[in-house]
Amino acid sequence: MKPADIKKVKIKDEFWSRKQALVKKEVIPYQWEILNDRIPEAEASYCMHNFKAAGLLNEKMRKKGDAFEAPKFTYRGFAVFPEKREDAKEDEFYGFVFQDSDFYKWIEAVGYALMTGPDPVLEETADRAIDIVCSAQLPNGYLDTYYIINGMDKSFSDLRDHHELYCLGHLIEGAVAYYQATGKEKLLNTAERYADYVASLFGTGEGKINGYPGHEIAEMALFALYDLTGEEKYKDLAEYFIDERGKTPNYFEKEHPDMKGKPDYYHQAHMPVREQTEAVGHAVRAVYLYSGMADMARLTKDAALLNACEKLFDSIVDSKMYITGGIGATHLGESFSHPFDLPNDTAYSETCAAIGLVFFAERMLRIKADSKYADIMELALFNTVLSGMALDGKSFFYVNPLEVIPENCKKDERKTHVKPIRQKWFGCACCPPNIARLITSLGRYIYTEDENTLYTHLYVGSDTVKNVNGKEVTVSMESGFPNNGNVRITVDGAKDSSFRLALRIPGWTIGKYRLNVTGASEKEEKDGYVYIGNFTEDAVIDISFDMIPRLIAADEKVAEDNFKVCVARGPIVYCMEEVDNGDKLRQIRIDKNGSFTEEICNEFGYDVVTIKTDAKRIIPAASEVSPFGALYNEFASFEEKEISLRLIPYYLWANRGENEMSVYINI
């Protein structure tokens, strides 16, 4: 299976069109200002600065020819920032070692945004930016401003930490998207030349670098480049990176002898990938690797690799994922923790990791239409991914906790990673451009297709066209998601063809749905999809799912959530906020038999379903008897106050100022 052609999927959904328009009108232009350090109150990026500095050096090199003396590498740190913005020197590198990737993610989002409709001003800006980026490429194809500026003699000497292959991956993904959108080859040629150069250096032969990326992404990017160009060399390089990872001795020990003998979970290099069954280490790295592995399993039909992908997916979903679709429970190494360790107030749950989980799930769907993958894709998308961006598209979460008491985050060193409000930008700004590229490319995640069947994974209102044996079948979907579960699909042109439409039955419906079909006679249920076929005329399909607020409890092994529940409705997970319910949210106990009242409210700028339910606020009654001091009293009783608890979608939290928030509620 493959994703439906993104250029043929026209999103017309009210909910998602708004998000896409926001990214196109606000986020992308704002990020362009950021990449050029023109937002005084946000952390400077130095991303375009670095490309210009590398371009200047290139020019000097060209002018002086053999007389050019290349800078010798001196280590300046993983992240280098000038004291003050105005102190930045035009020929020095600043930012994190992977700063180039911010542009690549931005141009990828631009590419997808241009697919949703033309924007000549944006395209012109992008073209000029591409000129700057391409001018930084060395004649041999190398392109990473960190080493070009700081000294090429050490390039590819620290694959573990220095992200050259990570930047290559993002360059490829950006270049592919921009080429698909515009047909312009300049950035694609640059990406191919860098990939060719890397392919010439890496491998098992004599004198080759026998390593692989410290931060994965090149794998899936190279498969995408192979998909686009049909060039086997890119597939070979991706396969090489995947096959080498985790072999003994660990390649990274060569670069970092202090790692000797220690299992390298952090980089998923602790064992060969086909033997890996538990998701471990840095969560973004992990799901990027698993996505590449799934691409390879699909292309090569490697059963052992597919088995590993399935086990890793289940390992995440069965024991390492928050109810919000967030992953990576600990800030220590931005990593997966041990199974069932899912703390709410120190959660890491990086936005990028949830995005990576969407990538992984979507790739599993290309192998097999099983709704369990689409369920997780939807969960991560509607909750943690959307939580990553403010309603106005101008501030972002890197970390997505499930409970916040603002004062604690500010004063407790164990929670400094948790921010109670979204930030304008981050020096390490992986997340904001990642959200931008995912939301603009949403058209890729709605459907997959094979020869005859169009599989609907996400109910996002859209029009698309599928070719079935030379016949064009038009599929038009109207969806009430996420506010209601009513979906109407019209299918035109499928009469007497082998076309089949598969519709996902979301896991949260527990198998219940209502279906009414006119114009097709065949219905069959399999792996969480209902298949509709044998079209006898232009068809209308109504499928609806009840979106009823439900209480969800975590497995008892999640100690953090014992005696707690959360509320979900359809794909949306809800939370309580101080602004609606007062502070000290931990005093609130939900009534497990209480009724839910749904309200459509407009305080977030569009129709959002909020929920009210019965609860109590439990306050310890003051006792006169204290063993010592004022902190403790002998227990007397609890005062119980009936309250009406208001819940809003989790992804909307912290859009009304800094305040307490909790997803889980005592029961």
Confirm whether 334 is a catalytic residue: yes
Q: Which residues contact 28 (CB under 8 A, 6 or more apart)?
A: 106, 109, 110, 113, 122, 436
User: Of residues 218, 361, 430, 436, which one binds Zn ion by CB under 5 A?
Assistant: 430
* 385 contributes a contact to Zn ion by CB under 5 A: no
Residue 563, both tokens? 């005696």
Shortest separation between residue 501's beta carbon and Zn ion, angstroms:
36
| Binding piece for Zn ion, criterion CB under 5 A, among 114-122, 345-353, 368-376, 489-497 | 345-353
**Around Cβ 91, how many Cβ atoms within 10 Å?**
12
320 touches 263 (CB < 8 A): no
**CA atoms 254, 256, 260, 266: torsion sign:** negative
**Among 178, 214, 179, 217, CA closest to 195:** 217
296 touches 255 (CB < 8 A): no
497 touches 469 (CB < 8 A): yes
Q: Which residues contact 53 (CB under 8 A, 6 or more apart)?
A: 90, 91, 92, 93, 145, 149
Beta bridge partners of 438: none
Q: Which is nearer to Zn ion, 431 or 647 (CB)?
A: 431
Q: Distances in Å between the alpha carbon of 64 and those of 67, 70, 135, 385?
A: 5, 11, 17, 49
Distance CA 156, CA 196 (A): 15
- Residues numbered 582 to 611 that lie near Zn ion (CB under 5 A) are none
In the chain, the largest separation of any two C-alpha atoms, in whole Å, equals 88
Q: Rounded to the nearest 5°, which phi and psi values hold at 25?
A: -85, -30
* 431 contributes a contact to Zn ion by CB under 5 A: yes
Q: Which is nearer to Zn ion, 430 or 654 (CB)?
A: 430
* 354 contributes a contact to Zn ion by CB under 5 A: no
Shortest separation between residue 396's beta carbon and Zn ion, angstroms:
9
| Binding piece for Zn ion, criterion CB under 5 A, among 210-218, 245-253, 425-433, 506-514 | 425-433
Distance CA 150, CA 158 (A): 14
| Binding piece for Zn ion, criterion CB under 5 A, among 331-339, 374-382, 429-437, 442-450 | 429-437
Shortest separation between residue 325's beta carbon and Zn ion, angstroms:
15
Q: Which is nearer to Zn ion, 284 or 663 (CB)?
A: 284
Shortest separation between residue 663's beta carbon and Zn ion, angstroms:
20
Give one word for 139, left, alpha or beta, with left for phi > 0 and alpha for psi -120 to 50.
Answer: alpha
Shortest separation between residue 351's beta carbon and Zn ion, angstroms:
5
Q: What is the SS3 assignment for 72?
A: coil
Active-site residue, from 43, 239, 310, 334: 334
For the chain, how big is the Rg over CA atoms in Å? 26
Q: Which residue's Cβ lies closest to Zn ion?
A: 352
Q: Which is nearer to Zn ion, 52 or 215 (CB)?
A: 215
* 489 contributes a contact to Zn ion by CB under 5 A: no
Shortest separation between residue 426's beta carbon and Zn ion, angstroms:
8
49 touches 38 (CB < 8 A): no
Shortest separation between residue 400's beta carbon and Zn ion, angstroms:
10
Confirm whether 599 is a catalytic residue: no
Shortest separation between residue 20's beta carbon and Zn ion, angstroms:
20
Shortest separation between residue 428's beta carbon and Zn ion, angstroms:
8
Shortest separation between residue 108's beta carbon and Zn ion, angstroms:
15
* 352 contributes a contact to Zn ion by CB under 5 A: yes
| Binding piece for Zn ion, criterion CB under 5 A, among 163-171, 298-306, 349-357, 486-494 | 349-357
| Binding piece for Zn ion, criterion CB under 5 A, among 207-215, 306-314, 351-359, 527-535 | 351-359
| Binding piece for Zn ion, criterion CB under 5 A, among 268-276, 343-351, 524-532, 599-607 | 343-351
| Binding piece for Zn ion, criterion CB under 5 A, among 95-103, 187-195, 422-430, 612-620 | 422-430
Peptide bond before 627: cis, by omega within 30 degrees of 0? no
Q: Rounded to the nearest 5°, which phi and psi values hold at 122?
A: -65, -40
Beta bridge partners of 423: 396
Q: Rounded to the nearest 5°, which phi and psi values hold at 305?
A: -70, -40
Q: Which is nearer to Zn ion, 96 or 241 (CB)?
A: 96
Q: Which is nearer to Zn ion, 287 or 475 (CB)?
A: 287
221 touches 168 (CB < 8 A): yes
Q: Which is nearer to Zn ion, 215 or 245 (CB)?
A: 215
Q: Which is nearer to Zn ion, 347 or 609 (CB)?
A: 347
Distance CA 546, CA 75 (A): 58
# residues contacting Zn ion (CB under 5 A): 4
Active-site residue, from 309, 352, 430, 575: 430
Q: Which is nearer to Zn ion, 431 or 520 (CB)?
A: 431
**Among 30, 81, 3, 9, CA closest to 396:** 30
Q: Which is nearer to Zn ion, 150 or 335 (CB)?
A: 335
Q: What is the SS3 assignment for 106?
A: helix
Residue 515, both tokens? 């279906």
Beta strands in 440-499 (DSSP E): 447-449, 453-456, 462-468, 471-479, 486-492
**Among 448, 271, 428, CA closest to 361:** 448
- Residues numbered 615 to 654 that lie near Zn ion (CB under 5 A) are none
Write out the catalytic residue numbers: 334, 430
Interaction site with Zn ion (CB under 5 A): 350, 352, 430-431
